[in-house]
């Protein structure tokens, strides 16, 4: 579709840009400041660069692996390294944060004093979630979480300990999904809003205002190949989801699992569903990282009316112990998460016997 035909379907003047929206709503932030607005702008600039390269992945040499094993024990993809580089570079240039934590780096990354940073923010991120799908052209994403350092800590003295705050202390969180269109979705604790990148003008435009997830849904996202490694309560819940119930239009549930957390989460938040990455016999702590995957998505889903738990406790109330700490995760529509929680705690309804 040409630019002119796009204009026929939508008057782009009706859409606010991300920067306009941030400036208009800045007074809602607890620590209202221009630096916070610029920080979100920096994240959006890096997202545009990653999106540009992603769109040319078959033409540029960014498929495949770097040969380097990251801190997670996973062989790093070329696009992992590129995304990490671009987000770190954008944040360094902006000077609005004093510390960065990334899935692709073993330690927290301080912003050098030479950069003249006066920022009081910490950014934790998964620069490219679902990167194992890149080579087969499946949608992937970026996840980020933003915290403030304590008021009595000078930015140049911020350490990893200052970043290890519970999810309830997040000042903002969001993700970018690189799919059929590129969307940036974020919250500052005042609802969830989504912005779609219009490549013709290079701007993120407000396309999804005040997103809310349905109370219930018919989508179940889980790697069922691990079924026999799940706890009995979870297996019972999955069996219950697949039972036919003439009084419940959401059962049997549809299984939809892309293997890219951002993509699965985005679909389920819009359509209603539950995403589950539980503990297994081989991974008793689960596989998702608390600080830059589970916490930001928990913040988003709660602002959209959903819930997130590790099977025992609300995700955002967990006390972090390390940057790359892992956690089980059950996240999505509130009724579905509550039901899963009940099964996991042994408080499930009686299973049918016929």
State the Cα–Cα distance between residues 315 and 327, nearest whole angstrom: 9
State the Cα–Cα distance between residues 338 and 331, nearest whole angstrom: 10
Joined together, the tokens standing for residue 235 give 């297996």
Q: Say whether 329 sits in a helix, a strand or coil.
A: strand
Partners of residue 178 on adjacent β-strands: 140, 182
Partners of residue 126 on adjacent β-strands: 143
Q: Residue 302 class from Cβ within 10 Å (0-12 exposed, 13-18 middle, 19+ buried)? A: buried
312 is annotated as contributing to ligand binding: no
223 is annotated as contributing to ligand binding: yes
126 is annotated as contributing to ligand binding: yes
162 is annotated as contributing to ligand binding: no
Which positions ≥6 away from 268 have C-beta within 8 Å? 213, 217, 219, 221, 274, 275, 332, 333
Cβ atoms within 10 Å of 217's Cβ, excluding its own: 23
293 is annotated as contributing to ligand binding: yes
28 is annotated as contributing to ligand binding: no
Nearest 5°: the CA angle 123, 125, 181 is 115
Cβ atoms within 10 Å of 334's Cβ, excluding its own: 19
Joined together, the tokens standing for residue 55 give 């769109």
130 is annotated as contributing to ligand binding: yes
302 is annotated as contributing to ligand binding: no
State the Cα–Cα distance between residues 149 and 157, nearest whole angstrom: 10
Nearest 5°: the CA angle 186, 315, 18 is 5
Show binding-site residues for Mg(2+).
103, 126, 128-129, 293
Show binding-site residues.
103, 126, 128-132, 223, 257, 287, 293
Show binding-site residues for substrate.
129-132, 223, 257, 287
């Amino acid at each position: 579709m040409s630019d002119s035909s796009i204009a026929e379907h939508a008057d782009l003047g009706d859409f606010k840009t991300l920067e306009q929206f941030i400036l208009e709503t800045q007074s809602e932030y607890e620590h209202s400041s221009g630096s916070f607005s610029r920080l979100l702008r920096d994240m959006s600039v890096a997202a545009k660069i990653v999106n540009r390269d992603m769109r040319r992945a078959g033409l540029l040499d960014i498929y495949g692996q770097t040969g380097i094993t990251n801190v997670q024990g996973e062989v790093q993809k070329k696009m992992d390294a590129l995304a990490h580089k671009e987000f770190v570079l954008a944040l360094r240039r902006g000077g609005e944060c004093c510390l960065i934590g990334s899935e692709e780096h073993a330690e927290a990354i301080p912003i050098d004093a030479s950069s003249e940073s006066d920022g009081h923010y910490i950014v934790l991120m998964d620069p490219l979630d679902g990167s194992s799908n890149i080579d087969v052209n499946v949608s992937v994403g970026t996840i980020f979480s933003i915290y403030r350092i304590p008021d009595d800590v000078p930015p140049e003295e911020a350490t990893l300990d200052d970043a290890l705050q519970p999810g309830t202390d997040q000042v903002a969180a969001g993700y970018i999904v690189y799919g059929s269109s590129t969307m940036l979705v974020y919250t500052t604790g005042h609802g969830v809003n989504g912005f779609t990148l219009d490549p013709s003008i290079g701007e993120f435009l407000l396309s999804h205002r005040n997103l809310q997830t349905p109370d219930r849904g018919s989508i179940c996202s889980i790697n069922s190949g691990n079924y026999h490694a799940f706890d009995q309560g979870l297996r019972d819940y999955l069996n219950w989801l697949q039972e036919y119930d003439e009084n419940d239009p959401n059962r049997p549930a549809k299984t939809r699992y892309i293997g890219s957390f951002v993509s699965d989460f985005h679909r389920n938040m819009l359509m209603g569903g539950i995403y589950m990455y539980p503990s297994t016999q081989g991974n008793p702590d689960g596989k998702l990282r608390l600080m830059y995957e589970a916490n930001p998505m928990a913040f988003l889903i709660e602002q959209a009316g959903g819930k997130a738990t590790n099977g025992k406790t609300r995700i955002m109330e967990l006390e972090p112990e390390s940057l790359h700490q892992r956690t089980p995760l059950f996240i999505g529509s509130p009724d579905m998460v509550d039901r899963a929680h009940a099964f996991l705690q042994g408080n499930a309804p009686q299973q049918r016997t016929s």
